[in-house]
Amino acid sequence: MGALILQQTINALTVGSIYALIALGYTMVYGVLRLINFAHSELFTAGAFIGLALAGALGVAGHPTGGLLVGFITFVIIGLAGVSVEIVAYRPLRGTSRLAPMLSALGMAVVIQNAVMLIGGRRPLIYPSFLPSGVIDVFGAIITYKQITIFLVAVILMVALELFVNRTNLGVRIRAVAENAETASLVGINPNMAISLIFFIGPGLGAVAGILYSSFYGVATFTMGFVIGMKAFTAAILGGIGSIPGAVLGGFLLGFIETFATAWMPVLTGGLIGTEYRDIFAFSVLVLILLFRPAGLLGEHVSEETIVYKSDF
Amino acid sequence: MKVLHGISLEVLPGEVVCIIGPNGAGKTTLLRTISGLNRATRGSIRFKGEEVAGLKPYQMVRRGLGHCPEGRRVFQLSIEENLITGYVPGRGKSFAELRDQVYALFPILGERRHQSAGRLSGGQQQMVAIGRALMGSPELLLLDEPSLGLAPIIIHQIFEIVLKLAESGVSIILVEQNIDLSFEVADFVYALEHGSLQCSGPAAKMAADPRIKDIYLPGLDGQDSH
């Protein structure tokens, strides 16, 4: 029993790490533009595919150290793709309705997903793991090195992001733009600089999550971003969209809810609800949080005044 | 919507120009247009001899414009972080130098540098807003109703700083509803109403102008809020 709970905790931390990394991208973009970047989940997929291509090109498939290099290059490539998405699909629509950029985001998601399909193919691809193999037995629970690596990579990236946003001058400027882009411009900050940086970092983190995810499950498909993207989005809402600590909390919390609910519901309902209902828990959380606490756990009420689609900054 | 009509205004180095007028006269719009937040449909804006109409606000700041917006709009960051947001590298002075200057002007800010600016009193927030603008080493400073909602003693303190800045060569455009105060500090006064210039002239001369008394009786639109 104890081993089972420990095992599920480890599994929850693994999947939670991935959700949290992706959720950061949603929350950061929302924080500055009040926009849900629906293309984010497809950039996650594209990241996994680019990682795969790089592994082949560099001949480092299956090497953890090569994985570091692949992760870094993929971060930069997808980061630049994210910046381009903003410039092409969102920037021209500033100052219009709030619906227009959202539709543009959906369109961008379709475009990227189809690009991945055309280049990578329709069929699931076997993914070489960049994660070290091996297991540790802790009180009867099996912890794989893969899980440990995923958790560590996620934590390192989150700590780095936290330090960047809170301890550097550039981070201060980004927070100023997130709070009020117009005022930020009035005091000398180029809001587009901050917005581009957000669109570099968010998708970059999502791309690393894509590599980790595919490495863990050993497969990559061009449609895989949709469900996991929705779940990460749920995690961002759960934690309070716009809040960076919220995305991390929401990601891990969702990982726990999903893992434990999936494991225990079949037992509790006598097999009526089986493990195939896995996805239902995350989306039930989404519905509940939107009904009862739309601002999320750590989110604050956003006043309309801070919405940036207004003036010419 | 067209708010301002044919306004002509000039500020010389070290001069304090005051714009007065009732609510909705277009005073804030005028400042926002100078800063580049609003676009002028025609006419020209020249700063240090260069045409600057069409530049973005942050580009204006990098050329030496400071803007303390209406309502102060300090960031929900610490005082020192607010100063970081206003710092413009490459305008001569280092961050530490400028920051220490701001703390010398407003010692209370230095004492509370790590406190969140959002929780400060209105007067202290105004000091943060002015300090933040000073971090860009402005040659022209726009102040949008700095006295709004503040206690007289704080207003006095802030206006002393404003005059000190002007003495050091910073040009100032001040928007005020408080007429008495405006005439006290200004070299030149422009009176706006319904988006057009009603009259303008040196402060001493304008103070005696009967039109001012007629239209802008302090008792009618003194320090009301929005």
Distance from the B129 Cα atom to the nearest Cα atom in chain A, whole angstroms? 9
Across residues B65-69, what is the average pLDDT? 93
- Residue A278 has a pLDDT of 83
User: Which runs of consecutive H residues, i.e. helices, occur in A168-300?
Assistant: 169-179, 181-186, 191-217, 224-239, 244-268, 278-292
pLDDT digits (tens, 9 = 90+) for A160-170: 999 999 999 99
- DSSP for residue B77: S
Per-residue pLDDT band at B76 (split at 50, 70, 90):
very high
And the tokens for B24? 């909705």
Total residues belonging to chain A: 313
Give the three-state DSSP class for A18: helix
Per-residue pLDDT band at A293 (split at 50, 70, 90):
confident
Nearest CA-CA partner of B31 in B2, B4, B62, B1: B4
Q: A172 and B86: CB-CB below 8 Å?
A: no
- Residue A302 has a pLDDT of 54
A303 pLDDT more than 80: no
B149 pLDDT more than 90: no
Per-residue pLDDT band at B212 (split at 50, 70, 90):
confident
Instruction: Output the pTM of the full model.
Output: 0.89
- Residue A136 has a pLDDT of 92
Per-residue pLDDT band at B215 (split at 50, 70, 90):
low
Task: Sort residue A140 into left (φ over 0), alpha (ψ -120 to 50) or beta.
Answer: left
Q: Number of A:B CB contacts under 8 A?
A: 72
B118 near B148, Cβ under 8 Å?
no
Task: Sort residue B5 into left (φ over 0), alpha (ψ -120 to 50) or beta.
Answer: beta
A109 near A200, Cβ under 8 Å?
no
> For residue B84, which residues of chain A lie inside 8 Å, CB to CB?
169, 172-173
Q: Residue A59: which residues within 8 A CB-CB, separation 6 or more?
A: A66
A235 near A286, Cβ under 8 Å?
no
Across residues A281-308, what is the average pLDDT? 76
Q: Residue A50: which residues within 8 A CB-CB, separation 6 or more?
A: A74, A77, A78, A207
- Residue A311 has a pLDDT of 45
- Residue A274 has a pLDDT of 77
Per-residue pLDDT band at B221 (split at 50, 70, 90):
very low
Q: A313 and B37: CB-CB below 8 Å?
A: yes
And the tokens for A6? 């420990």
Q: A186 and B87: CB-CB below 8 Å?
A: no
pLDDT digits (tens, 9 = 90+) for A58-81: 888 878 888 999 999 999 999 999
CA torsion, points A230, A231, A232, A233, in degrees to nearest 10?
A: 50
Q: A188 and B84: CB-CB below 8 Å?
A: no
Q: B132 and A187: CB-CB below 8 Å?
A: yes
B213 pLDDT more than 80: no
Give the three-state DSSP class for B188: strand
Total residues belonging to chain B: 226
User: Mean pLDDT lowest for which of A266-270, B95-99, B206-210?
Assistant: B206-210
- Residue B217 has a pLDDT of 58
pLDDT digits (tens, 9 = 90+) for A80-115: 999 999 999 999 998 888 889 999 999 999 999 999
* Phi, psi dihedrals of residue A4, rounded to the nearest 5°: -65, -45
Across residues A28-51, what is the average pLDDT? 94
A262 near A42, Cβ under 8 Å?
no
The better pLDDT of the pair B21, A116 is held by A116
- Residue A28 has a pLDDT of 94
Cβ atoms < 10 Å from Cβ of B208: 9
- Residue A226 has a pLDDT of 94
- A16–B contact, CB cutoff 8 A: no
Percent of chain B at pLDDT exceeding 90: 41
> For residue B36, which residues of chain A lie inside 8 Å, CB to CB?
312
Across residues B38-64, what is the average pLDDT? 89
Per-residue pLDDT band at A6 (split at 50, 70, 90):
very high
Of A176, A186, A191, Cβ closest to residue B67: A186
B223 pLDDT more than 70: no
Per-residue pLDDT band at A305 (split at 50, 70, 90):
very low
And the tokens for B111? 């004492």
Which A residues, 168 through 207, put their C-beta within 8 Å of a C-beta on chain B? 169, 172-173, 175-176, 179-180, 182-191
Q: Tell me how far apart the alpha carbons of residues A54 and A67 are, in angstroms, rounded to a whole number.
A: 10
And the tokens for B123? 């007067």
B216 pLDDT more than 80: no
Topology, domain B16-216: Rossmann fold (3.40.50)
Q: Is the dihedral of CA B148, B149, B152, B154 positive or negative?
A: negative
- Residue B200 has a pLDDT of 82
Range among A36-50, B92-106, B117-131, B171-185 rated most confident? A36-50
pLDDT digits (tens, 9 = 90+) for A142-201: 999 999 999 999 999 999 999 999 999 999 999 999 999 999 999 999 999 999 999 999
> For residue A169, which residues of chain B lie inside 8 Å, CB to CB?
84, 87
Q: Tell me how far apart the alpha carbons of residues A191 and A195 are, in angstroms, rounded to a whole number.
A: 6
Of B37, B38, B85, Cβ closest to residue A187: B85
A212 pLDDT more than 70: yes
- Residue B1 has a pLDDT of 61
Give the three-state DSSP class for A148: helix
Q: A176 and B75: CB-CB below 8 Å?
A: yes
The better pLDDT of the pair A117, B205 is held by A117
Q: Report the CATH architecture of A2-306.
A: Orthogonal Bundle (1.10)
What residues does each domain of chain A span? 2-306
Instruction: Please provide the distance, in angstroms rounded to a whole number, between the alpha carbons at the two ends of chain B.
Output: 20
And the tokens for A57? 């090109």
Mean pLDDT of chain A: 91
Across residues A271-293, what is the average pLDDT? 86
> For residue A168, which residues of chain B lie inside 8 Å, CB to CB?
none
Per-residue pLDDT band at B116 (split at 50, 70, 90):
very high
A301 pLDDT more than 60: no
The better pLDDT of the pair A268, A25 is held by A25
Distance from the B169 Cα atom to the nearest Cα atom in chain A, whole angstroms? 20
Instruction: Please provide the distance, in angstroms rounded to a whole number, between the alpha carbons at the two ends of chain A.
Output: 58
Mean pLDDT of chain B: 86
On the CB side of A20, how many CA atoms lie within 13 Å of its CA?
28
> For residue B86, which residues of chain A lie inside 8 Å, CB to CB?
187-188
Tell whether ipTM is more than 0.85: yes
B117 pLDDT more than 50: yes
Of A175, A186, A190, Cβ closest to residue B77: A175
User: Mean pLDDT lowest for which of A42-56, A230-244, A260-274?
Assistant: A260-274
CA distances to A238, A255, B152 from A287, rounded to whole Å, are 10, 17, 52
Nearest CA-CA partner of B199 in B210, B187, B208, B190: B190
- Residue B5 has a pLDDT of 77
What residues does each domain of chain B span? 16-216
